Structure 1
Amino acid sequence: MTALLRTDTANPATYLWTSPLLWMLAAGSVISHIATVVLHLPQAVGGALLASFLTLFGLLHGAATYGWRGILFFLVVCLGVSNAFENLSILTGFPFGWYHYSDALGPKLFLVPLLIGPAYFGVGYLSWTLARAILGDKDGSLAGLLSFATPAIASFIMVSWDLTIDPMASTINGSWVWHTGGSYFGVPVSNFLGWYLTVYVFFQCFALYARRRIATDTKVSGYWATSLFAYTSIIIAPILGLLFGADSISITDAAGHPWQTQDIRSVAALVGLFTTLPFWLLAVFKTQEAGLSSQPR
Structure 2
Amino acid sequence: MIIVTGATGALNGATVDHLLEHVAPADVAVVTRDVAKAERFSRRGVEVRQGDYADPGGLPEAYAGADQLLLVSSNDPAGDHVALHRNAIEAAVTAGVGRILYTSHQGAAPDNPFHPGTTHYATEQLLAGSGVAWTSLRNGFYAHSLQWMAGPWRKTGVITVPGDGPVSWTAREDAAEAVAVILLSDGAHDGPTTLTAPTAPTFAELAVTASEIAGRTITCEVVDEESWRQAQAAAGAPEGMTAFLLGFYRAAREGFFAGTDPLLGDLLGREPRTARDALAAT
Give the TM bin, normalised by the shorter chain.
Answer: under 0.3
Greater RCO (CA < 8 Å, at least 6 residues apart): 1
TM-score normalised according to structure 1 size: 0.26
> Going by fraction, where is helix more abundant, 1 or 2?
1
